[in-house]
């Protein structure tokens, strides 16, 4: 039986593995995709302590190698459900079942979609959810970013270095993004901010050629010709594996700064937890706290 099963190998999960192994526990990381989480696609990270500047891939790879050097186990399997059993838990994946004394859920979140007609059809043909992943395909072209938070504005600034023009489309006059980012966006010559508009329709045969926007105040429509639309309107927490096991709030697994869930023996770390700040540093913090809490739980059994 595994001492600590960590579901999700992003920054939070990998940090949990490091702390669990340092405490002498048998730790297994479960991941259905590549290790590292969303940060892998980020070209430059400048806000993680200890690194003035580092690529997201290099940072994730470094944390992963640190966990592996401590003999944490890595299992490539998508965990679909977690259930209680006498003395622990059963994790059911695509390729098998696993037993663990404690579980740390660090499954993160996925990108939220616009939810309009033809969106799925045009993914990869003009619609993208990752500017750093796909931005190079639109070099010299006209693109747009939908969203009003830090990610949306950061995406627009990144694209401005590649594209001839970038629109920022936001449904409100005000932005959630930090003012420093907004100031930089306003000063960037090839960025144009369009508010308050929502994306109403996608146009183009076989690939995106334009979008029709609707003014959120007066309902008037505006058409802009673009070849790429990058959607950055938030995230959806990945809580499927924990359904019926732990209490959630607003779709996120409910837990305080102690990372303790409503189910004894189950802990949560990273973006999937109810919290105000979702950053790499807070993900790492959660991972450490959750692992030490799991260690204490095992020692008390």
Convert the pLDDT of each residue in 130-139 to its tens digit.
Answer: 887 788 899 9
Name the residue among 102, 90, 97 with its Cα closest to residue 16.
Answer: 102
For position 234, what pLDDT does the model report? Answer: 84
Domain 2-110+235-300 has CATH 3.50.50.60: yes
Domain positions in the chain are: 2-110+235-300, 127-231
Q: For residue 225, indicate whether it is catalytic.
A: no
H-assigned helices in 70-119: none
For position 23, what pLDDT does the model report? Answer: 98
Q: Which residues contact 299 (CB under 8 A, 6 or more apart)?
A: none
For position 196, what pLDDT does the model report? Answer: 97
- List of the chain residues with pLDDT < 50: none
Q: What is the DSSP letter of 87?
A: T
For position 42, what pLDDT does the model report? Answer: 72
Residue 292, classed as helix, strand or coil, is: helix
Distance, CA of 61 to CA of 69 (rounded, Å): 12
For 3-62, how does the pLDDT look when each residue is reduced to its tens digit (9 = 90+)? 999 999 999 999 999 999 999 999 999 999 889 987 886 777 888 999 998 998 999 999
Could you check whether 2-110+235-300 and 127-231 share the same CATH topology?
Answer: yes
Distance, CA of 92 to CA of 48 (rounded, Å): 34
pTM of this structure: 0.74
Pairing mode of beta strands 197-203, 210-215: antiparallel
Q: For residue 134, indicate whether it is catalytic.
A: yes
Query: Is residue 262 a contact partner of residue 247, using CB atoms and an 8 Å limit?
Result: yes
Tokens of 118: 């033809």
Tokens of 213: 């926007």
Catalytic residue among 3, 77, 134, 286: 134
Query: Is residue 286 a contact partner of residue 269, using CB atoms and an 8 Å limit?
Result: yes
**Cis before 196? omega within 30:** yes
Per residue in 58-95, is it b (16+ CB within 10 Å) or e — as a string? ebbeebbeebbeeebbbbebebeebeeeeebbebbbee
Distance, CA of 198 to CA of 114 (rounded, Å): 9
Report the CATH number of the 127-231 domain. Answer: 3.50.50.60
For position 195, what pLDDT does the model report? Answer: 97
Residue 58, classed as helix, strand or coil, is: helix
For position 240, what pLDDT does the model report? Answer: 93
Query: Is residue 245 a contact partner of residue 83, using CB atoms and an 8 Å limit?
Result: yes
Query: Chain-centre distance of CA 17, in angstroms?
Result: 19
CB burial of residue 215 (10 Å; 0-12, 13-18, 19+): middle
Catalytic residue among 3, 61, 94, 130: 130
């Amino acid at each position: 039986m595994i001492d600590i099963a960590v579901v999700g190998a992003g920054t939070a999960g990998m940090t949990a593995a490091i702390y669990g192994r340092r405490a002498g526990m048998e730790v297994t990381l479960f991941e259905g995709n590549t290790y590292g989480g969303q940060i892998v696609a980020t070209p430059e990270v400048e806000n993680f302590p200890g690194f003035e500047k580092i690529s997201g891939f290099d940072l994730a790879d470094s944390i992963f190698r640190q966990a592996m050097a401590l003999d944490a186990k890595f299992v490539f399997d998508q965990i679909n459900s977690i259930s209680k059993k006498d003395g622990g838990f059963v994790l059911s994946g695509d390729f098998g079942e696993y037993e663990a004394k404690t579980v740390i859920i660090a499954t993160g979140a996925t990108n939220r979609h616009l939810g309009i007609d033809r969106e799925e059809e045009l993914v990869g043909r003009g619609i993208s959810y990752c500017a750093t992943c796909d931005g190079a395909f639109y070099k010299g072209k006209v693109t747009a970013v939908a969203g009003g938070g830090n990610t949306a504005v950061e995406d627009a600034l990144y694209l401005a270095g590649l594209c001839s023009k970038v629109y920022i489309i936001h449904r409100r006059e005000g932005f959630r993004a930090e003012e420093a980012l907004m100031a930089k966006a306003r000063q960037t010559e090839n960025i144009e901010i369009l508010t308050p508009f929502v994306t109403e329709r996608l146009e183009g045969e076989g690939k995106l050629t334009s979008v029709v926007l609707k003014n959120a105040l007066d309902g008037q429509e505006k058409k802009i010709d673009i070849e790429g639309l990058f959607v950055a309107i938030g995230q959806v927490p990945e809580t499927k594996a924990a359904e019926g096991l732990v209490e959630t709030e607003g779709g996120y697994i409910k837990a305080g700064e102690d990372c303790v869930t409503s189910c004894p023996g189950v802990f949560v770390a990273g973006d999937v937890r109810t919290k105000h700040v979702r950053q790499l540093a807070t993900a790492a913090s959660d991972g450490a706290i959750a692992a030490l809490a799991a260690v204490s739980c095992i020692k008390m059994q």
